[in-house]
Structure 1
Amino acid sequence: MTISNHPLWLVGFRPFFALACLAGLSLPMLWALIFSGTLPAPTTTFSSIQWHAHEMFFGFGWAVLGGFLLTSTKNWVNQRGYHGRALIFIVSAWLLERVGMWFEGMLSPAVFRISNNLFLVSIVVMLAWTLIKYRQDDSYRDNYLFLIILPLFLVSKNLMVSSDYFQFGWVMAIGLFRMAFLVMFERTLTQFMKNVFQVSILRNPTLDGSIKLLALSLVFAEPMPTPLASGISLLLALLLIGRFFFWKPQLALRRLDLGIMYLGYLALVAQLLINASNPWLNGAWVGSVSVHVFTFGVMGLVIPAMLIRISKGHTGRKVIFDRLDLWVLRIMILGFITRIVAPQLFPAAYIYWIDLAAMCWLTAFSILAWRYIPYLVQMRVDGREH
């Protein structure tokens, strides 16, 4: 067996979910140690906060999103996905980006730009080419949204390492990830609820389209007049709340493996409401609540559940959350509480809450890495190739 034929390189989710587990257990803890002064900051000309934000969105976040989209797009258009040498190349580019981000201050601007954009440019081109080339076979009519948002991620990531446009960059990043999660919620929860409870949830094309159009506009919330951005955030939150009650939460919340997805949905709504209230409550929160409600509440709650589900299902195993899987989800809920809720109640212990939240990520993703990386590097148990 050659390296390119190894099971790890058969499907996009395999290497990228392994990287996501490693990034999830290490990046928050690294930041906690840097924030407390225990570790020196990376060697960069931009701030350590910019490094942290960039790495959580474009290191951890894009390891997950890249693995998800590389796997999903092949199913959407019924084509063999990128594998072998192509997959090795973009994984290598992701790793190069992590090194470049840590040592940016020691690199020439040109070398840094190449190291910092090679992965995302490559994977965006790959994904867009798949969606465009096989558009006649595409099973989702709204996949054109990915052709819009994927290139915008490149704009966002470069703004995030700029001294003048950092806030513009991370607001864009949240807006783009919000779009991706909204599309994912619509597609996966429709399927999950039908498979588990044999029920249909509300899918109205006008409502769904309006939600995604409003969410797309919020990608550019930063340069908008504050009242306009707040109004759009409030309207989007209200539409999502209204739809939520037609998605049968009374059933989903009976099971943690499904309920965690609904909690992530509610965290997305909460983040929008916080943004809408900023003109009146800005400064009332302890810490950067808005961004962390999204990163801990949406990404932190939903991603582990999706990693478990996809890692089991796409390696030929039954998608059943066992006791340890459920404990991973509980630990991530605890991480949300310690990072978002506890500092509002006991702000004097703020730095300790950050440490505890990082420990939750370290513990949960260490369990995921220990359990699921062995699945990702082995052949499917059902005899299928990929």
Structure 2
Amino acid sequence: MALLPLDDLDKHPPLTGWAPFALGFRPFFLAAGVFAVLLMALWLLVLRGSLDLGELPPQVWHGHEMLFGFAVAVIAGFLLTAAQNWTGIPILSGPPLAALFLLWLAGRLGFLVPGLPAELVALVDLAFLPAVALVLAVPILKARQLHNAPFPVLLLVLTAANALVHLQALGWADTAGLGLHLATYVVVTMMVLMGGRVIPSFTDNKLNTRARRWKTIEILAPVATVGALLAALAAPYSLVTALFAAIAAAVHVIRLVGWYTHKFWSVPLLWILHLGYAWIALGFALLALSAAGISTAAVSALHAFTTGGIGVLTLGMMARVSLGHTGRVLEAAPLMTRAFVAINLAALLRVALPLLFPGVYTQSMTAAGLLWMAAFGLFVVVYAPMLLRPRVDGKPG
């Protein structure tokens, strides 16, 4: 059966049955979209003083759930799907996938259900990432694809970052801030690795172009990323960190220049990915300013990485991967183009206003939060039917 454009779906018989656990991207992408909206709604209520979340300080809870709830769901869905393509080995589907998804969900509920022992919450939440790492490592090792081995390893580093947050929740150490920064930097590193693979490839395949990839830059991109982020963890306000972050920013800008073609501006599924990567480059530039002593750049750097890099890239990747793996033509629905604009506006407000006008911090956060909710709400509206129903071409997955 040929791939079906979104506009032509009503010309074909309606799909029968359900397939929410046919492949990893389905439950985790849908849950990420729903959770992104609910999490931001709860956060805005916290900001208004209308909600008390209990044990964790509100900002720690917000950062933890954005990273280990929302971002980790997208990462799990993407890697569980991609690893099957990489290795040709079936990964996880049906009841085992449903069980893994429920483990993620239990971790989210643990912070919201009052009265649960902190030890139990930590145990359940910390179990998810090692489980995903194990599921990925087995086929990767079996297929001898050692170039993909960093992804299970990075999931274990994320587990360590999560543990640092839980240590504070247990009252054993004051390590939540370190854990959240480490988690942010690990997710950024993963996006740099995957972005380097898929963004130029997707662009070339769609537009019949050939992205320029300089060997030196491709080697420097992950090295400069990890070096700058480790320096930021060890000495966030130092000239060494400023230098490393500036180098990383320059490397990522050069990488983007090599991938650039004016043709992608006519394809929303492409420009959203290029802009997402550009937010990461800007994050490093702002990190350099922050390390050099410009204090107002610190918050903006963090949110260039999170709202910008993570928010924009995850929305773009979920949109494209979901179309491809449900047998549809790779064309964004008009509502998704609006969602792509909304998420970039959210990042712009979250990054620019605190940097330029520190006195409007709360207002900028509220406006950005509403745009974030609109973007992921539109994703859920457009993609829920695709993610819950079988592929339109009748293939498994």
Report the TM-score when normalising by structure 1: 0.91
Aligned to 1:156: 161
Q: Partner amino acid for 1:143?
A: N
Distance in 2 (CA, whole Å) between partners of 1:223 and 1:270 is 18
2:118 maps to 1:146: no
Aligned to 1:190: 200
Aligned to 1:74: 84
Q: Secondary structure at the match of 1:9?
A: coil
Q: Partner amino acid for 1:351?
A: T
Match of 2:334 among 311, 314, 323: 323
Report if aligned partners of 1:36, 1:351 keep a CA contact under 8 Å in 2.
no
61-70 or 235-244, which moves further after superposition?
235-244
Aligned to 1:133: 142
Aligned to 1:349: 360
Q: Secondary structure at the match of 2:29?
A: helix
Q: Partner amino acid for 2:373?
A: L
Match of 1:99 among 103, 109, 121: 109
Match of 2:350 among 323, 328, 339: 339
65-74 or 259-268, which moves further after superposition?
259-268
Match of 2:286 among 274, 280, 287: 274
User: CA offset at residue 227 of structure 1?
Assistant: 3.2
Distance in 2 (CA, whole Å) between partners of 1:381 and 1:21 is 22
2:19 maps to 1:7: yes
After superposition, the C-alpha distances for 1:5-39 in whole angstroms (9 at most, x for unaligned) are 95111100000011011111111221121022122
340-349 or 108-117, which moves further after superposition?
340-349
Aligned to 2:66: 56
Distance in 2 (CA, whole Å) between partners of 1:293 and 1:244 is 16
Distance in 1 (CA, whole Å) between partners of 2:65 and 2:315 is 18
In structure 2, the CA distance between the partners of 1:221 and 1:279, relative to structure 1 (3 Å rule), is closer
After superposition, the C-alpha distances for 1:207-260 in whole angstroms (9 at most, x for unaligned) are 312221232344533553433333222211111122221112433344333122
Report if aligned partners of 1:168, 1:222 keep a CA contact under 8 Å in 2.
no
Report if aligned partners of 1:73, 1:131 keep a CA contact under 8 Å in 2.
yes
What do you get for the CA RMSD once the two structures are aligned? 2.0
In structure 2, the CA distance between the partners of 1:365 and 1:279, relative to structure 1 (3 Å rule), is closer
Aligned to 2:12: none
Report if aligned partners of 1:171, 1:221 keep a CA contact under 8 Å in 2.
no
In structure 2, the CA distance between the partners of 1:124 and 1:267, relative to structure 1 (3 Å rule), is same
Unaligned stretches of 5+ in structure 1? none
Give the paired residue count.
374
Aligned to 1:304: 315
Distance in 2 (CA, whole Å) between partners of 1:217 and 1:337 is 26
Distance in 2 (CA, whole Å) between partners of 1:209 and 1:279 is 24
Q: How does 1:21-36 map to 2 (within 5 A)?
A: 21-36=33-48
Distance in 2 (CA, whole Å) between partners of 1:58 and 1:328 is 23
User: CA offset at residue 91 of structure 1?
Assistant: 0.6
Distance in 2 (CA, whole Å) between partners of 1:37 and 1:80 is 47
Distance in 2 (CA, whole Å) between partners of 1:114 and 1:218 is 32
Report if aligned partners of 2:301, 2:351 keep a CA contact under 8 Å in 1.
no
In structure 2, the CA distance between the partners of 1:149 and 1:43, relative to structure 1 (3 Å rule), is same
Percentage of matched positions with identical amino acids: 26
Distance in 2 (CA, whole Å) between partners of 1:324 and 1:113 is 38
Match of 2:375 among 364, 369, 374: 364
Report if aligned partners of 2:133, 2:153 keep a CA contact under 8 Å in 1.
no
Distance in 2 (CA, whole Å) between partners of 1:31 and 1:272 is 26
User: CA offset at residue 343 of structure 1?
Assistant: 3.7
Aligned to 1:250: 262
After superposition, the C-alpha distances for 1:133-152 in whole angstroms (9 at most, x for unaligned) are 222xx4xx631322431210
Unaligned stretches of 5+ in structure 2? 1-16, 169-173
User: CA offset at residue 340 of structure 1?
Assistant: 2.0
2:266 maps to 1:261: no
User: CA offset at residue 346 of structure 1?
Assistant: 4.3
Report the TM-score when normalising by structure 2: 0.88
User: CA offset at residue 268 of structure 1?
Assistant: 0.4
Segments of 4+ moved more than 6 angstroms: none
330-339 or 314-323, which moves further after superposition?
330-339
Distance in 1 (CA, whole Å) between partners of 2:268 and 2:93 is 33
Q: Secondary structure at the match of 1:236?
A: helix
Report if aligned partners of 1:260, 1:301 keep a CA contact under 8 Å in 2.
yes
Match of 2:175 among 165, 175, 195: 165
Distance in 1 (CA, whole Å) between partners of 2:220 and 2:350 is 32
Aligned to 1:121: 130
Report if aligned partners of 2:103, 2:124 keep a CA contact under 8 Å in 1.
yes
User: CA offset at residue 334 of structure 1?
Assistant: 1.8
Report if aligned partners of 2:228, 2:244 keep a CA contact under 8 Å in 1.
yes
Aligned to 1:383: 394
